[in-house]
């Protein structure tokens, strides 16, 4: 499971990057993966409109929509299975007649 850094930490790290400090040095000093810092920087560029892509608000909305879709798919599968079980013929006497 990925580590979740507080928003304040992310902002401070990006401020250091903007100030011109090398990402490798920041990563080593703060014990954060340099790839994490690169992805934060890329997302910041997307959020500010400097790169194309989905900003954080859109990503949050998309994530919520996908979660809801999974919930609804689970409900539909449950109801289909319940319908199948109710449709099966059930003989209370155990089917002993010829």
Q: Is the pLDDT of residue 1 over 80?
A: no
Q: Return the higher-pLDDT residue of 93 and 17.
A: 17
pLDDT at 2: 74
pLDDT at 3: 83
pLDDT at 13: 96
- Count of residues making up the chain: 98
Q: Measured between alpha carbons, how far is 21 from 41 in angstroms, rounded to an integer?
A: 13
- Reported pTM: 0.68
Which band of pLDDT confidence, cut at 50, 70 and 90, is reported for residue 87?
confident
Query: In this structure, what token pair is assigned to residue 35?
Result: 């790839």
Task: Name which CATH class applies to 1-53.
Answer: mainly alpha
pLDDT > 70 in the chain, percent:
91
List, in sequence order, every beta strand (DSSP E) within the chain. Answer: none
């Amino acid at each position: 499971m990925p580590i979740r850094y507080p928003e304040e930490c992310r902002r401070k790290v990006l401020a250091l990057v903007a100030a011109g400090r090398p990402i490798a040095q920041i990563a080593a000093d703060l014990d954060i993966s340099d790839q994490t810092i690169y992805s934060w920087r890329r997302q910041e560029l997307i959020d500010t409109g400097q790169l194309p892509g989905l900003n954080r608000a859109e990503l949050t909305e998309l994530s919520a929509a996908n979660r809801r879709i999974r919930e609804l798919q689970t409900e539909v599968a449950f109801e289909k299975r319940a319908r199948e079980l109710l449709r099966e013929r059930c003989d209370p006497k155990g089917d002993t007649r010829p």
